[in-house]
Amino acid sequence: MTRIHFFLHILLLWSRYGTCQSFINPIIGFFPGTSTIPSKHRYNITIAFIFPYKSFWNFTTMEEYKACGGFCSWMRQMDSGAEMAVSEINNNPHILPEITVNILRVQGWDQKLAPGNGIGGVAPVALELSELKSVIGAVGDVADQSSMITAGILSQYKIPLCGGTPNLPALSNKANYPYYFRVTFSNKWGNDIATLLRKWNVKRLAMVYDADDSESVGACLDIKQSLFSNNILILARRSYHGLSYHNDYEDIIKDFSW
């Protein structure tokens, strides 16, 4: 019981930093699945979509998406892709033949509205999800630190989470995140990049990565190993701190202007 009380205390501390994220009423909406196949009306299950909906959900024009930048379009595409997969399941008699899938959209950490803070707000959202007996799994949560919190909590309740953070090395630890999975392997970009560079006949290059981003660091390591095994020379590696407001990117460019 002591460990449980300690865990809940940590969650409360996390949630203090989530106030600016507007996690009040995190349930965006319940969207019942539909199917023209009679056999699929026998049972139904619910999948939660976790995305920063409050940044884009009410957008109706291309101008609004352009003003938001690439972030909102990317989030909308991921939400739409997940919805298309659910629609395919509901209208295919060979996939879950007696089941219709519903969608529950839930507010996730919003790096657009409040970058760099508010991550702890995902803790009470994940706890609220875990209490909904109808939710059998979740999709989404695209940021590294928020994914660790969400995946950690949902794993405690044995709720699978298919994440949108393919390069975070820590999430490969099945002891900590037994119910977390992803459609691509962690950090496995190196082989693809090496293949592309060989096709372009590139023999040497320089690398720049964000030292404050665990995804960037992990991907950089995998790429470096793949380039080495393919005899592609790395002339220089430079890191910068993405969380700093005082980066001198021109200095990095000058370093590569031999």
- 190-255 carries CATH number 3.40.50.10470: no
- Could you tell me the fold of the domain covering 18-181? Rossmann fold (3.40.50)
Interatomic CA distance for residues 232 and 86, integer angstroms: 42
Please tell me if the domain spanning 18-181 has the same topology as the one spanning 190-255: yes
Q: What is the structure's pLDDT at 187?
A: 55
13 has pLDDT over 90? no
Q: What is the structure's pLDDT at 14?
A: 44
What's the whole-number average pLDDT of the chain? 82
Q: Which band of pLDDT confidence, cut at 50, 70 and 90, is reported for residue 113?
A: low
Domain ranges, ordered by start, for the chain: 18-181, 190-255
Q: Which band of pLDDT confidence, cut at 50, 70 and 90, is reported for residue 61?
A: very high
Percent of the chain topping pLDDT 90: 38
Q: What is the structure's pLDDT at 173?
A: 86
Name the residue among 19, 29, 21 with its Cα closest to residue 106: 29
258 has pLDDT over 70? no
Please give the average per-residue pLDDT across 183-196, as a whole number. 76
Please give the average per-residue pLDDT across 56-67, as a whole number. 90
Q: Which band of pLDDT confidence, cut at 50, 70 and 90, is reported for residue 4?
A: very low
**DSSP code per residue over the chain:** -HHHHHHHHHHHHHHHTTGGGT-SS-EEEEE----S-GGGGSEEEEEEEEE-GGGTTT--SHHHHHHH-HHHHHHHHHHHHHHHHHHHHHT-TTSSTTEEEEEEEEE---TTTSTTS-GGGHHHHHHHHHT-TTEEEEEE--SHHHHHHHHHHHHHTT--EEES-TT-GGGG-TTT-TTEE-SS-TTTTHHHHHHHHHHTT--EEEEEEETT-HHHHHHHHHHHHHHHHTT-EEEEEEEE-TT-S---HHHHHHHT--
